[in-house]
Chain A
Amino acid sequence: MSVFTVGLTLRVKRDFKPIAQRFGVAAVLPVALFALFLMLAGVAPIDTFAAMLQSSVGSSYGIGEVLVRAAPFALTALAAVIPARAGLLNVGAEGQLVCGGLGVAAMAFALGDVSPAGIPLLIVAGMAGGAAWAGIAGVLRTKLQLSETISTLLLNYIGYLLVAHVLQGPLKDPASFNWPYSAPLSDALRFATLLGSRVNVGMLLAPLAAGVLAVLLFRTYWGLNLRVTGGNPQAARRAGINVPRTYLTVMLIAGALAGLAGVLQVMGVEGRLRPTSGVGFGYAGFLAAWMVGHHPIWVLLSALLLAAIAVSGDALQITAGLPASSINILTALVLLGVLARGRAQSRG
C-alpha cells in the first residue's frame, strides 16, 4: 500500500476541506429523508440503520463485501476521472467493463487449461478489451468530432448485447445448460482469495491504479499537460500540446481501467463471465468520480461509500423485509445532495 500513501500526500491538504464539507452536508439530509421513507413504510429507522451498519461495516464479512464492491467502483470511477481531467466525459465505463470481462473470457477460452502464468495474459486481455471499446469513442472524437458522451452511451448497450450474444454463442459453456455463462476459470487462473471470503488479491489493483494515476496526474509533465488540455484546450495548443492525441490517450487509459474492473469481477469474484457481470458498476463509478470532483485518490473514498450503501441494502431485505434495491433511494439522495451543492468545484 505504499503507493497509496504516497498518493494520499499529494494535494490532499488543498482538497480536503471542500470535499469534507461536501460529504458532511451531503450525508445528513439524505439520511434524514431516507429515515422518513422507512417510517412511511412502517419500518423503524434507527433499528434499520443499525442493521445496515452492522451488515456493511459491522463485521469482517461485511467489510469484505464492501471492499469487494468498492474495488471495481473505484476503477470505473478512475475511468471517468482521467478523461474528465483532460476535458472529456466518459459515460462508457459500463460497456468498457463488460468488454474487459469479454477480453478475459475470450483469452481464457483461447488459452485453455494453463498454469497461473496465464494470469498476466488474462489481465492484459481484459484491459485491452476495455481499451479497445473506449478507443472507438476516442477515435470518433478525434477524427470525426463526435461527442464521446453520446458515443460511449450508445456503445454501452452495444457492449452489453455483444457480450450477451457471445455468451449464447462461441463462449457459451456447454456444461451450463441453458444459462448464458462462459466456462468457469480454473482455480489457477483466479485471483487468490482471503480465508474463504470473496476478498482477493486482485482488488489491490484499485488503490494501486489510483496511486499511480495520482502520481502521473499531479507529479509528471504528462499529467500537467493533460490537466492543461482539460482546463483550457486553447492554451494547450499554444503550448504545443497535441490535443487530439491527448484525447485518444485518456480514452484508452480509461477503457483499460474499466476493463480492469471487469477483470476483477471475472477473475476475482464471479470466476466466469455472465451477462450481468458488473452491470451498473460503470454508472456507479461515474457518479463516484463526480462526488469528489474527479480526484484520483478521493474516488477510493466515494467508491467505498457507494459500495457500503449498496452492500447494506441486503440488510434492508433481511431485517426490514424491504427489497434490497430500495437502498438505491439512499444512494440517489446522497448523490443528488452532493451534485446540488458541489457546483463550484475546482478544476485543473
Chain B
Amino acid sequence: MLSIVEAVLGGAVRSSTAVLFAALGELIAERAGVVNLGTEGCMLTGALGAFAVTAATGNPYLGALAGGGCGALLAAVHAYVAVVRGANQLATGMAVTILGLGVTSFWGRSFVSTQIQGMEPINLPVLSSMPLLGPILFQHDPLTYLSMLLAPVIWLFLARTRWGLALRATGERQEVVYSVGYSPTMIRFAAVVAGGFLAGLGGAQLAVAYTLNWVENMTQGRGYVAVAMVIFASWNPLMAVAGSYLFGGALSLQLALQAQGVGVSPFLMSAVPYLVTLGVLIVVGRRRRQAMPDELRAVFEGSRG
C-alpha cells in the first residue's frame, strides 16, 4: 500500500514539473500585466529544442538550456505583437501557440523516432532515503529539483528586489511605474521573454527527462493548464506549486487507479483541477480575485482593446 502511495505521489511530482515551470513563467508575465496564451507553444518549442540539441550533442543539460532559449524566442514574438504593437493579448497568444505547433511539427518530423539519452534521476544524499518523503520528493531528475527551488526564488525576486517590485507595479499601474522612471514596455517585454524561457524549460523536462521522446503536440494542452494554474494560485508562486502538484496528482492517481482496475473515470479526475480552479474563483470570489494584477483585469474584463 505504501509503495502505491509513494508511486502515485512521486509520479505526481515528476509529471507536474513541466506544468510548474510553465506556470511559474506565466506567473512572471502575468504579474507584469501580460497574459501569454502562447505558453503552450513555448512549451512545445522548448520540448523540441531540448530534444534536438540533446540528440545532437548527447548532453541533456545543454538540451534543457536550448529548450529554454527556444521558449524565450517564441515568447519574444508574443511580446513584440502584444506588448510593443499593442495587439490583443489573448488573440496574439493563441496565434503564437499555433505558430509553435506549426514550427515544431515542421522541424520535428525528423526526430519522431530518434532515441536519446535523457537526464537520469538523481537520488539526493540522505534526503532520498527518508521514509515516504524520500521517494516522493527526492528521487527525481535535476530539472524537477530546479522547479522546486525556483518557486521560492521567484517569490523572493518579486517581493524583495527592486526589479521584482517594478515588475509587479507594471502589472498594477503602468503609469505609476512610468512616473517613477522605468519603462513599462521594457519590463513587460522582459517578463514575457523570461516566462517563455521557463515554459521552454518545462517543455524540455517533458522531452529529455520524462518521456524521452518527441511526439508532435506532445504537451497536449499543459501550457493552457499552466495559465489556469496561475489563476488558481492567485498569482502567488508558492501556490502555483500546490496547484501544479494537484494537477499532477490527479493525473498520476488516475493512472494508478486504472492500473488497479478501479472504475473512476480518468476524465472526471482530470477535470478536477479545472473544477477546483473555477470553484475557488466562485466561492472565494472577489477577495481572491483582488489578487489579480489590475492591468490584467483590463485584459480579462476590459473591452476589446
Contacts and interface: CB of A to CB of B under 8 A. Distances in A.
A and B touch in the complex (CB under 8 A): yes
Interface of A: 37, 41, 84, 87, 89, 91, 140, 144-147, 149-151, 153-155, 157-158, 161-162, 164-165, 168-169, 230, 283, 286-287, 290, 294, 322-323, 325-333, 335-336, 339-343, 347
Given A169-B265, A336-B77, A339-B91, 11 more contacts: A147-B297, A157-B228, A161-B271, A165-B267, A286-B94, A287-B95, A327-B102, A329-B102, A336-B92, A336-B95, A343-B87
Given A157-B228, A168-B265, A339-B91, A149 B301 contact: yes
11 contacts: A84-B304, A89-B304, A146-B281, A150-B300, A157-B225, A323-B109, A325-B105, A329-B106, A332-B101, A339-B85, A343-B86
A256 B51 CA distance: 43
B130 interface: no
Contact of B96 (A165, A323, A332): A332
Interface in B53-110: 77, 80-81, 85-88, 90-92, 94-96, 98-99, 101-103, 105-106, 108-109
Interface in B176-209: none
Contacts of A331: 98, 102
B270 interface: yes
Contacts of A327: 102
| Most chain B CB neighbours (cut-off 10 Å) among A146, A155, A330 | A146
B285 interface: yes
Interface pairs A-B: 4 shortest CB-CB: A328-B102, A332-B99, A329-B102, A326-B106
A154 B265 CA distance: 19
A274 B101 CA distance: 22
Interface of B: 77, 80-81, 85-88, 90-92, 94-96, 98-99, 101-103, 105-106, 108-109, 216-217, 221, 224-225, 227-228, 231, 265, 267-268, 270-271, 274-275, 277-278, 281-282, 285-286, 289, 297, 299-301, 303-304
A339 B93 CA distance: 11
A327 B91 CA distance: 18
A314 to B, nearest CB: 13
A339 B95 contact: yes
Contact of B91 (A41, A158, A290): A290
Nearest to B84: A340
B282 A287 contact: no
Contacts of B268: 161, 165
Contact of B282 (A37, A140, A149, A339): A140
B52 to A, nearest CB: 14
A168 B267 contact: yes
A333 B99 CA distance: 7
A328 B97 CA distance: 9
Contacts of B85: 339-341, 343
B102 A332 contact: yes
A230 B281 CA distance: 25
B284 to A, nearest CB: 11
A158 B289 CA distance: 21
Given A154-B228, A158-B278, A325 B217 contact: yes
Contact of A149 (B80, B267, B299): B299
Nearest to A324: B105
| Most chain A CB neighbours (cut-off 10 Å) among B85, B96, B103, B300 | B300
Contact of B277 (A84, A154, A168): A154
Given A322-B109, A323-B216, A328-B105, A149 B300 contact: yes
A157 B274 contact: yes
Given A327-B102, A332-B98, A164 B267 contact: yes
Contacts of A37: 106
A329 B81 contact: no
B88 A339 contact: yes
Contacts of B277: 154
Nearest to B217: A325
A89 B302 CA distance: 9
Contact of B275 (A41, A150, A158, A336): A158
A81 to B, nearest CB: 11
Contacts of B271: 157-158, 161-162, 165
Contacts of A145: 286
A290 B81 contact: no
